[in-house]
């Protein structure tokens, strides 16, 4: 992974952490290890992934299709699940 890629990932993770902290505060979630906190983290991660997808599409002159994002994310999740089951 290039240095630029590492720096970009660190910036995305820092932004997500801020969004997670804010979402936990807004929802009154104090237990960061509970199911509600897990759901919040997942929601923020998906939102960040979608924002990145939209930006990439815009940069490449493509229409950001939310259904395509869902389909691709679902396929990726299934692939990762199969790989994890095979280990």
**What is the pLDDT at residue 86?**
82
The residues spanned by each domain of the chain are: 3-86
Provide the 8-state DSSP code for 18.
Answer: H
**What is the pLDDT at residue 87?**
65
**What is the pLDDT at residue 49?**
92
Q: What is the distance between the terminal CA atoms of the chain, rounded to a whole angstrom?
A: 24
**What is the pLDDT at residue 20?**
94
| pLDDT < 50 stretches in the chain | none
The whole-model pTM stands at 0.77
**What is the pLDDT at residue 51?**
92
Q: What share of the chain is helix, strand, coil (3-state, %, to 5)?
A: 80, 0, 20
């Amino acid at each position: 992974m290039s240095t630029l890629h590492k720096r970009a990932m660190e910036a995305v993770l820092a932004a997500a952490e801020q969004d997670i902290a804010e979402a936990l505060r807004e929802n009154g979630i104090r237990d960061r290890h509970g199911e509600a906190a897990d759901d919040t983290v997942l929601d923020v991660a998906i939102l960040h992934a979608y924002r990145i997808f939209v930006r990439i599409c815009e940069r490449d002159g493509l229409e950001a299709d939310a259904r395509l994002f869902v389909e691709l994310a679902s396929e990726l999740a299934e692939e990762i699940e199969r790989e994890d089951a095979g280990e």
